[in-house]
């Protein structure tokens, strides 16, 4: 993968996603590629990403209504995508398979699609259908020259 030291965050993530697609052979369409870059940008500084228990987050989302519910389900889908693609070792530490995160995340995106309208519903149905391809691209980013380190929570500063 190329040098990632220069450029705006969105451009850097987009370059990494495109390089990963080329290397993995998984060609994402524009909507999936853009959404994946959005997810990476949105969660790049999420210090609690790996601490969250997605099944509990999903259950909490089910208790919500309307936009709060769909946003919470979207977040579950996004975080499961990142864990499955960039941090698969977390699944092993939690004694579940990576497929657990894939199935939970895909189901969350499908629930967003089922509850949404028009283009929003269509986007999330499309993301749910191509969830494994999104994970595959992230796995390629995770490789030895990848950028998974950019998503890792910063260690606590000791005083």
Q: Is the pLDDT of residue 47 over 50?
A: yes
pLDDT of 147-159, one tens digit each?
Answer: 444 444 444 332 3
E-only strand ranges, 54-113? none
Distance CA 22, CA 63 (A): 40
H-run or E-run covering 4:
none
Residue 1 within any structural domain of the chain: no
Q: Which long-range contacts (CB under 8 A, 24 or more apart) does 9-18 make?
A: 9/41, 9/44, 10/37, 10/41, 12/147, 13/37, 13/40, 13/41, 13/44, 13/147, 16/40, 16/141, 16/146, 16/147, 17/137, 17/141
Task: State how far the Cα of 71 lies from the Cα of 136, in Å rounded to an integer.
Answer: 24
Q: Kindly report, residue by residue over 76-123, the tens digit of the pLDDT.
A: 999 999 999 998 888 888 888 899 999 999 999 999 999 988 899 999
The answer to the question of residue 108 being in a domain is yes
3 state SS of 86:
helix
pLDDT digits (tens, 9 = 90+) for 127-142: 999 999 999 999 998 8
**Tokens of residue 87, six digits:** 């941090």
Q: Is residue 158 part of a domain?
A: no
Contact of 139 with 85, CB cutoff 8 Å: yes
Indicate the number of domains in the chain. Answer: 1
- Do the domain assignments include residue 3? no
Containing domain of residue 104, as a range?
9-150
Secondary structure element (H or E) that encloses residue 27, with its range? none
For residue 104, is it within any domain?
yes
């Amino acid at each position: 993968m190329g040098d990632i030291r220069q450029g705006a965050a969105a451009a850097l993530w987009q370059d990494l996603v495109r390089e990963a697609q080329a290397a993995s052979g998984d060609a994402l369409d524009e909507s999936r590629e853009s959404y994946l870059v959005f997810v990476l940008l949105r969660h790049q500084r999420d210090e609690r990403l790996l601490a969250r228990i997605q099944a509990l987050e999903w259950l909490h989302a089910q208790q919500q209504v309307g936009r709060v519910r769909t946003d919470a389900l979207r977040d579950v889908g996004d975080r499961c995508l990142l864990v499955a693609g960039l941090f698969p070792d977390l699944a092993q530490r939690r004694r579940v398979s990576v497929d657990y995160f894939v199935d939970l995340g895909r189901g969350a995106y499908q629930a967003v699609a089922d509850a949404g309208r028009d283009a929003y519903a269509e986007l999330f149905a499309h993301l749910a259908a191509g969830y494994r391809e999104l994970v595959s691209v992230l796995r390629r980013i995770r490789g030895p020259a990848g950028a998974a380190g950019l998503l890792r929570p910063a260690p606590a500063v000791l005083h």
